[in-house]
A = this chain, B = another copy of it.
């Protein structure tokens, strides 16, 4: 049984739950107490030296880290990854965009404002992160004016990766009412078969 080490409210962890559920792959979760540094212990760092969740245990002792690498692993050969070479590259483009230009701003602002508190002396840095988060959202809005999903006409891992933190960006005090294409895309993502909300408990593996 695949085991997901996670912090439930994390968008990165949600990506993995969503993809596993949509693909019908059973898994069990091990909840990590991030507020008490559970991923920074020597025991956890033996599983992921980088001290982050999500990680999945694929078989006893075999761990895989990085949310976007994990969902790529499970989605290989499924409709969640385009078969066309350029579309597949475009999917990865958006997934790397998500980790480099979106997550550090949209997700970190949310983490500070909704879960961990603003670290001491980081008030100005928060403002800058919010500004850069809006820049990422602006890029998304422009793209979604042109097409229904990030890659061609089909829901893919690019949508999963970008949906995870964007749809809860209000928890980072982002005002999504200034966008039109993004909320319309939320509805298309939520209408996919076997959608799972971030607040839904992990499905019980049978």
Contact = CB atoms under 8 A, between A and B. Distances in A.
Nearest to A62: B86
12 contacts: A50-B97, A50-B101, A52-B101, A64-B86, A64-B90, A65-B97, A66-B92, A69-B89, A69-B95, A72-B92, A73-B88, A73-B92
Report the 8 A-B pairs with minimum CB-CB distance, sorted nearest first. A73-B89, A69-B92, A66-B96, A69-B93, A66-B93, A49-B139, A99-B100, A68-B96
B76 A85 contact: yes
B64 A89 contact: yes
A125 B121 CA distance: 11
A103 B9 CA distance: 26
A70 interface: yes
Interface of A: 49-50, 52, 58, 62, 64-70, 72-73, 76, 85-86, 88-90, 92-93, 95-97, 99-101, 103-104, 121, 124-125, 139, 142-143
Given A62-B86, A96-B96, A100-B100, 4 more contacts: A50-B139, A65-B93, A68-B96, A69-B93
B76 A93 contact: no
Contacts of A89: 64, 69-70, 72-73
Contacts of A85: 73, 76
Contacts of A73: 85-86, 88-89, 92
Nearest to A141: B49
Contact of A96 (B69, B86, B88, B90): B69
A58 to B, nearest CB: 7
A99 B100 CA distance: 6
A143 B69 contact: no
Contacts of A96: 66-69, 95-96, 99
A88 to B, nearest CB: 8
